[in-house]
Amino acid sequence: MTEDNFKMSNKQEEEVSKFFAPENEKRKVETPDGEIIEINPLQDYFSDARPKVHHPNTSKVVEKFLNWARAESLWVLGFGTGCGSIEIPPLLTPRFDAFRFGVQMRPTPRQSNVIIISGYLAVKTLKRVIRSYEQMQNPKYVLALGSCTINGGMYFDSYNTINRLDYYIPVDVYVAGCMPRPEALLSGFGKLKELIKAGKGEKANEYVEKFDWYKANQKKIIQDWNMPDYNW
Amino acid sequence: MNIDFNKLFFTFLGLMIVLNWGLLMSALMRKIGARVAKRYGIPWFQPWVDLVKNYAIRSQITHGVMFYLGPVFRLSGGVGLFLFMPMVFGSDLWTNFSFKGDLILILYFQFFGMLGMALGAGEGGQPHSFIGISRGLSQFTTIEVPMTLAVIAIAVQYQTLSISDIVAAQQGGIMNWTVFTNPFATAAAMLSVLGAFGHSPFNLVKAPNEIPIGPPTEYHGTYLGVLRTNAAILHVVEAVLFMNLFFGGATTWIELIVKSFLIYFWSVFVGMVFPRFRIEQSVAWFLKIPLILGIIAIILL
Amino acid sequence: MKDLLERLNTKYNLTDIKYQRDNLVFLTIGKENTIDLVTHLRDYEGFTHFVLLSCVDWIEEGKFQLTYFLNQPERKYDIAIRTMIDRDNAEMVSAHHLWRQITTYQRELREMYGINFPGSPGVDENFILEGWDDIPPMRREFDTKQYSEDTFFPREGRKTHDPASYMKEKLYPTEPTTDKVNKTDE
Amino acid sequence: MNNLFNWEPDRSKYPTVKDNGELDVDLSSHKFTKLWVGPNHPGITGNMAVEITISGDEIVQAKTHVGYLHRGFEKLIERRLFIQGFPTCIRMCVAEPDYNEYILSKSIEDLSGIEIPEMAEWLRTLALEMARLQSLLRTVPGQGGTFSLGLGVQWGMYLRDLISDRFEELTGARIYHMYILPGGVRGLLPDGFKARMEENLKLIDQFVINIKKLMFDNVIFKKRAIGVGVIKKEWVDQFGIVGPNARAVGISRDIRKDYPYLKYQELDFEPPIAKNGDIFARSTVRYQELIQTVDLIRQIMAKMPEKGDIKSPTPNVLHWKIAKGETYIRSESSRGEYGMYYVTDGSDKPRRINLRGPSYNHAMSLLEHMLINANISDVHAIMVSLQTCPPEIER
């Protein structure tokens, strides 16, 4: 198999990409360093594309069924961002066993639907959380744990932890406490399921609609923003 | 060219049965694992819900053409394996498209999905993917050696390359099964099946908490749904292959379900109590014990 | 312990000696001789375990106090060597060649206090903070609460009321209230 | 003198070293891959990252990145009263919060000259040992978990939850107990505590037998763990290795024995020691410690008095001023020497606190050093065997 067999001419390639997805055309972009480069979105992993709103299915019955499936199969990103992550292992082990409720851990953001922000977020972690959140696919949900995500909790005066999570990413359910017990977390999952089944789990679209506001907030506190604005 | 629509219909029906049984089987295995760990475990319908959820993901991204094709190749590997596998012995309808010499084709199809996946996941650009791919290919190559030896031993023993004929030769009592007539070949193959199913100690392709989760790291939504569909089919069909070759085949669907469950359970059982090998240890292990067993099986013929 | 200090006193100019416990002594030495003393203790007195390198900000005196904690595992002594350096243009001789972990401590002090350790590997790299452009946060003049309120979006707390006046206002709304307290909680 | 310190790893193999001492790692040559293990990685211990460069499966460069959990505790406690520091400081390391409570309370008592009653000392010892038991129930099977032996982890976490229940009875909280406060402890043992604890310890006795069969007698576990991640004896002082990691090399250093605190003098125990310093030796040491901790808890419960004073009088906590002074308090956590440097200046707030966590050395300089020439499969195993805990590195 040589490479030539698969290679289309440049013109063909352009036509194909125009036909399938206009956002995959070649174009010039400005990198975070201020350099202007030409990219081919099909080959390069650089994106300056804004996120898109993905509307729910127009058929209500179908959407209801899909929402039921989404609610019963919550795949959680295994990213322990703060001290709340100490209560995640008990959640998955015999005592509390969240698997009963369709909660499973996934190691990669691509495959997960729920991100648990387990407690306080240092600014350095916030950057990674935003990246992970944006790499997750629509629909996606955020479960914020602990009082630190609500108003800073006991770190209200710390110079390195954020005070309000909902200024940076949209939050579906808050679980209060320091730290919240696994039972509270399970109840939070229950609440999230109710929201999804009622069709209210559309926070991913809300993020897109208020994208500029969120980005402005994020850029205000993350000083060295050396990544594209949106990482898919 | 005349198309046998009756055959096509039953093949498709068989595929659906195999798919659903594969999903149920994976749920059962996870439930058994949970019970050993003193947990209640997932609900039995969880794999179906996961599948629907994955297909219902709204947004999808791509890394290029091969990235699209990776899961497709993988699925065609699984379905191809199914198409040429006689499922129920003695039934004209459930033997799919098996023919004389299908044994060779099936050995090829086992590798096919892996290669397609390698191309697709490689284009994903995630380092974990291609570390997993290189591990998977090197391990699979070594699995093939004892496995092929065992298959050759059986082919020589029964003087045929047709799976249906091999099953036919094993009928008429439990003592006619290959597991008793040719124990060394069976042992070699049953050890290599551990690697084929990808449970611990040979789960270093996906290797949770090492290179999470190997090749499918970048796959999501529909891609992942396709991969999971394929996994469900592949696990059953591979179990059926071993059932046909070594454990006397199945004359009814019930027998097929029981036997494939037991064969798959064997790999889960081993995986429950053994940690994972490193890649060079895994390769060395396959080239030691199963290989020697396979060579003995050849020599004893 | 006492004999050890007598021996050291003949060689070095030690001041401010204070026994916190029988086996823990704090002492002060000039900036020039600090690394010399630490090396001497390590090589000849068996203080092979380096416990801690810390810094205390005495902003009133315009000094940073660096504390080197050494431990003698065989005879179970601890010595804490204090040394005072200037707060402006804070700089100290690097000790990274003595113990491996000192590199990490010096990176932290560089970032948190702005003390420079010329020659220490990777001392200018980011350690904990990322893209920090304010004054080093552990210095006393850095007001973390002010910074937090300015940078992160603080959520207004619950309204608190003075119980007496609030009740009065609720119960007797016609009467004009004089001392209505309506401040926000932190 | 310097040549005695064999700091640089074996670089005789690929890649070549340039004349100026730098490694010839050119990423564009496609011979090397840069890989981030963490912070979003299920195998990482806590929220940290290791940036590794691999050639094939072998690691040629490693660098630890921390700061993802930085909350600025030392700054925060500087602007809180002495008593306000007590609920704040325990969040410094989540796995064993009681050690934070103990070293902070002990520092304040040491500087203001408060003696605590005997009953409080016993209760503190009990709380610390229970915290150690909790931590070991996570780490010992966790080592198997790094090799994908998840079964032991599940069993261990169940028992850990039972000990959490006992903590809840004793202190009212599951994770952040806030039990040991300056001057004593917050409460006596509840009725029937000892009997329920004994029931749980019996389960742990059974678990200890099972985990030996599952892990330490397992062929593949031995194959993965023996000879991997070796710490050499001379590194112990060079890198400041403490606790079980030092004991696995054969150097017996245990704060509980060397600098006895609380009631450890009255307890009968001998810290376990292993020789080889590899992952297997370290997990064996931890396994022996698990058995020993169960025994210690039994001893404490047998020897402690039934009733007694649990709190010494302290000044009014709202106007508590401590004269100028400084001290260093250390204790032996399950990871090793856990100390606090505490400076007061005569005001009602501390001038400076500095936590000395064992992970500070283990996860930074030592891990970076050990990972070179290791296999990529062993990164996680080495990290867990050092028992790194990121929150105590960056506080």
ipTM: 0.86
Q: How far is CA A201 from the centre of its chain?
A: 13
The residue-averaged pLDDT of B215-221 equals: 84
Mean pLDDT value of segment A64-83: 86
Please check whether residue D230 is in contact with residue D158, taking contact to mean a CB–CB distance below 8 angstroms. no
Out of A86, A105, A122, closest to residue D71 by CB: A122
User: Closest Cα to residue A221, out of A162, A151, A153?
Assistant: A162
Closest partner residue to B64 (CB to CB) among A42, A69, A111 is A42
- Highest mean predicted confidence (pLDDT) among A226-230, B45-49, B100-104: B45-49
Q: What is the per-residue pLDDT across B167-188, written as a single tens digit (0 to 9) for each?
A: 888 887 788 888 888 888 888 8
Instruction: Name which residue leads in pLDDT, B95 or C137.
Output: C137
Q: For residue range D297-354, what is the model confidence (pLDDT) as tens digits?
A: 999 988 888 888 888 888 887 888 888 888 898 888 888 888 889 888 888 888 888 8
Q: Is D129 left (phi over 0), alpha (psi -120 to 50) or beta?
A: alpha
What pLDDT was estimated at residue A1? 41
Instruction: Quickly tell me which residue has 């400081």 as its tokens.
Output: D89
Report the gap between the CA of D169 and the closest CA in chain B (Å): 24
Assigned token pair, A87: 């209560």
Q: Is A201 helix (H, G, I), strand (E, B) or coil?
A: coil
Neighbours of C29 (CB within 10 A): 21
CB contact under 8 A, C148 and A159: yes
* Cα–Cα–Cα angle for D356, D361, D366, rounded to 5 degrees: 170
What's the gap in Å between the CA of D70 and the closest CA on chain A? 6
Retrieve residue A16's tokens. Answer: 């194909």
- Tell me if D224 and B204 make a contact (CB, 8 A cut-off): no
Q: Which strand (E) or helix (H) includes residue A142?
A: strand A141-145
**What is the spatial distance between Cα D263 and Cα D269, in angstroms, rounded to a whole number?**
12
pLDDT in tens, D165-204: 888 888 888 888 888 888 888 888 888 888 998 999 999 9
User: Tell me, what's the pLDDT at B114?
Assistant: 79
User: Minimal Cα–Cα distance from D114 to chain C, Å?
Assistant: 14
- Name the pLDDT band for B214 (thresholds 50, 70, 90): confident
CA distance D393 to chain C (A): 9
| β-pair partners for A103 | A74
Classified as helix, coil or strand, B174 is: helix
Instruction: Specify the CATH superfamily of domain C2-177.
Output: NADH:ubiquinone oxidoreductase Nqo5 subunit (3.30.460.80)
The per-residue pLDDT for A226 is 72
Do the chains contact at D87 and A125, CB–CB below 8 Å?
Answer: no
Q: Least CB-CB distance to D154: which of A81, A94, A160?
A: A94
Please check whether residue D166 lies inside any domain of the structure: yes
Checking if the pLDDT of D3 tops 50, the result is no
Q: What is the pLDDT of residue A15?
A: 64
In D, minimum Cα distance to C58 occurs at: D351
Chains B and C touch (3+ CB pairs under 8 A): no
In a domain, D330, yes or no: yes
- Give the pLDDT confidence score for residue A58 in this predicted structure: 80
Where in chain B are the domains? 5-299
Q: Mind listing the pLDDT tens digit for each residue in B122-181? A: 777 788 888 888 888 888 888 888 888 888 888 888 888 888 888 888 887 788 888 888
Residue D347 and residue D328: Cα distance in Å, rounded? Answer: 19
Could you report how far apart the first and last alpha carbons of chain A are, in Å?
A: 32
pLDDT of D229 > 50? The answer is: yes
Mean pLDDT score, D263-286: 88
Q: Which domain holds residue D344?
A: 76-374
Q: What is the mean pLDDT of residues D221-227?
A: 86
> Which single residue is written with the structure tokens 């490694």?
D23
* Per-residue pLDDT at D375 exceeds 50: yes
Query: Which positions in chain A touch B219 (Cβ < 8 Å)?
Result: 110-111
> Do C20 and D352 lie within an 8 Å CB cutoff?
no
Cβ pair B275:D148 closer than 8 A: yes
Q: Which of D291, D354, B38 is nearest to A97 (CA)?
A: B38
Q: Do A94 and D138 touch (CB under 8 A)?
A: no
| pTM, 2 dp | 0.86
Angle at Cα D98 formed by Cα D331 and Cα D268, nearest 5°?
A: 50
pLDDT above 70: residue A5: no
Of B58, B64, B212, the CB nearest to A54: B58
Q: Which of A151, A158, A221 sits opposite C155 (nearest CB)?
A: A151
Give the A:D interface size as CB pairs under 8 Å: 85
pLDDT at B57: 87
Question: How near does any CA of chain D get to the CA of A72, in Å?
Answer: 23
**B3 at the A interface (CB within 8 A)?**
no
Cα C43-C49-C55 angle, rounded to 5 deg = 105
Helices (H), chain A: 3-6, 10-20, 60-72, 88-92, 123-135, 148-151, 182-197, 203-209, 211-221
Per-residue model confidence (pLDDT) at position C184: 47
Whether chain D has a CB inside 8 Å of the CB on B284: the answer is no
User: How high is the mean pLDDT of chain A?
Assistant: 80
Decide if B2 touches A, using CB distance below 8 A: no
* CB pair distance less than 8 Å for D76 and A107: no
Say how far apart CA B58 and CA A208 lie, in whole Å: 14
| HSE value, Cβ hemisphere, 13 Å, CA-based, for D45 | 29
Do residue C155 and residue A164 have CB atoms under 8 angstroms apart? yes
Q: List the domain boundaries for chain C.
A: 2-177
Helix H or strand E segment including A115: strand A114-118
In CATH, what number is assigned to the domain containing residue D198?
A: 1.10.645.10
Report whether D255 contacts D269 (CB < 8 A).
Answer: no
CB contact under 8 A, A54 and B65: no
Is the CB of D174 inside 8 Å of chain A's CB atoms? yes
How close A150 comes to chain C (CA, Å)? Answer: 8
- The residue of chain A nearest to residue C126, with distances taken between CA atoms, is A124
Residues from chain A that touch C152, judged by Cβ atoms under 8 A, are 152, 161-164, 221
D8 found inside a domain: no
Domains plus CATH for chain A? 16-49 (no CATH), 60-221 (3.40.50.12280)
The rounded percent of chain B whose pLDDT value lies above 90 is 5
The encoded tokens of residue A201 equal 């789990």
Phi-psi region of D30 (alpha: psi -120 to 50; beta: other; left: phi over 0): left
- In B, which residues are within 8 Å of D149 by CB distance? 200, 273-275
**How many CB contacts within 8 angstroms connect chain C with chain D?**
96
| Number of independent structural domains in chain D | 1
Q: State how beta strands A74-77 and A114-118 pair.
A: parallel
